[in-house]
């Protein structure tokens, strides 16, 4: 392509270089059912970035594609193109997909769905799955569990347990973040107080500096008087 053709496109990257136009959705939609695996994968990837409700039925079918890369792309695309009709398909595939990258994408999509049906599957993933999936399950719970009081009450104990015991610091950090989000939705009751205690415990005792900072940020976000006082006292005494 010569310079004149580039000028006609009138597309420029932040570095000043020309970039190709975004893929044509009309051309990508039929490729979602293309017999060639690579074409299905490339088409699904387009809808990871672009929204088009017409893609959803075929993306749901691609969740069970023989190719793991297609399933991963379909999961992330359904996280972008959310639909109540896709939630059950995502939950069912989360139960049976052997590929960790696909389960990670499914968990992310379930969080984006903002559907209460995702709460229990996400709790199960937080308790049992590999670290990369647990990471996203922890943060996704903050999005879906806050939809109902019952889901908040169900989600907080496993989040506390993972905050205290998970072997991966990034998972513990995400648990702290989610607890901060969910505590803001709770009245001052026993569940709330237990979550605040767990955040304070992590702030004081966790060996990872990042987890400490995230626990502190969660406490500051909640604005709990007891938590704020404890943070102030510890910092004044130079214990943290």
Q: pLDDT tens digits, residue range 30-56?
A: 899 999 999 999 999 999 999 999 999
CATH of the domain at 125: 1.25.10.10
At residue 240, the pLDDT reads 62
The verdict on 13 and 68 lying in the same domain is yes
| CA trace torsion 229, 233, 236, 240 (10° rounding) | -100
pLDDT category of residue 114 using cuts at 50, 70 and 90: very high
At residue 197, the pLDDT reads 96
Q: pLDDT tens digits, residue range 199-238?
A: 999 999 999 999 999 999 999 999 988 889 888 888 887 6
- Region at 165 (left for phi over 0; alpha for psi -120 to 50; beta for the rest): alpha
What domain count does the chain have?
Answer: 2
At residue 237, the pLDDT reads 76
Domain limit, last residue, from 81, 113, 145: 113
Reduce the DSSP state of residue 163 to 3 states and report it. Answer: helix
The DSSP line for 171-195 is HHHHHHHHHHHHHTTS-SSHHHHHH
- Please say whether the beta carbons of 202 and 193 come within 8 A: no
- Please say whether the beta carbons of 100 and 130 come within 8 A: yes
Domain holding 78, by residue range, is: 1-113
Domain limit, last residue, from 82, 113, 144: 113
Report the alpha-carbon distance of residue 86 to residue 152 in Å, rounded.
Answer: 23
| Token pair of 86 as six digits | 């896709």
pLDDT (average), residues 133-158: 96
The verdict on 98 and 43 lying in the same domain is yes
The verdict on 103 and 126 lying in the same domain is no
The verdict on 101 and 121 lying in the same domain is no
Domain limit, last residue, from 113, 132, 159: 113
The verdict on 83 and 130 lying in the same domain is no
The verdict on 138 and 106 lying in the same domain is no
Count Cβ atoms below 10 Å from residue 154 Cβ, excluding itself. Answer: 16
The verdict on 130 and 202 lying in the same domain is yes
The verdict on 193 and 88 lying in the same domain is no
Instruction: Calculate the average pLDDT of the chain.
Output: 90
The verdict on 109 and 121 lying in the same domain is no
The verdict on 214 and 96 lying in the same domain is no
pLDDT category of residue 13 using cuts at 50, 70 and 90: very low
pLDDT category of residue 22 using cuts at 50, 70 and 90: low
Burial (Cβ within 10 Å: 0-12, 13-18, ≥19) of residue 208: middle
The verdict on 53 and 124 lying in the same domain is no
Count Cβ atoms below 10 Å from residue 184 Cβ, excluding itself. Answer: 15
Q: What does the DSSP 8-state code read for residue 116? A: G
| Token pair of 175 as six digits | 């648990």
The verdict on 134 and 84 lying in the same domain is no
């Amino acid at each position: 392509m010569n310079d004149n053709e580039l000028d006609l496109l009138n597309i420029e990257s932040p570095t000043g270089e020309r970039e190709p136009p975004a893929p044509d959705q009309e051309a990508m939609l039929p490729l979602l059912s293309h017999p060639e695996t690579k074409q299905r994968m490339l088409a699904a990837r387009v809808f990871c970035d672009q929204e088009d409700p017409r893609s959803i039925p075929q993306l749901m079918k691609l969740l069970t594609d023989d190719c793991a890369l297609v399933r991963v792309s379909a999961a992330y695309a359904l996280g972008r193109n959310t639909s109540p009709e896709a939630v059950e398909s995502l939950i069912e595939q989360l139960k049976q997909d052997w590929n960790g990258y696909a389960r990670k994408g499914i968990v992310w999509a379930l969080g984006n769905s903002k559907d209460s049906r995702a709460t229990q599957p996400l709790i199960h993933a937080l308790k049992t799955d590999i670290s990369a999936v647990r990471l996203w399950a922890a943060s996704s719970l903050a999005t879906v569990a806050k939809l109902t009081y019952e889901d908040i009450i169900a989600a907080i104990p496993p989040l506390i347990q993972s905050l205290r015991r998970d072997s991966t610091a990034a998972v513990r950090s995400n648990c702290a973040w989610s607890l901060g989000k969910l505590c803001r939705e709770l009245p001052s009751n026993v569940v709330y107080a237990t979550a605040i205690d767990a955040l304070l415990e992590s702030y004081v005792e966790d060996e990872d500096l990042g987890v400490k900072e995230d626990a502190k940020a969660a406490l500051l976000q909640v604005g709990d008087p007891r938590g704020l006082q404890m943070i102030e006292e510890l910092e004044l005494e130079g214990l943290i």
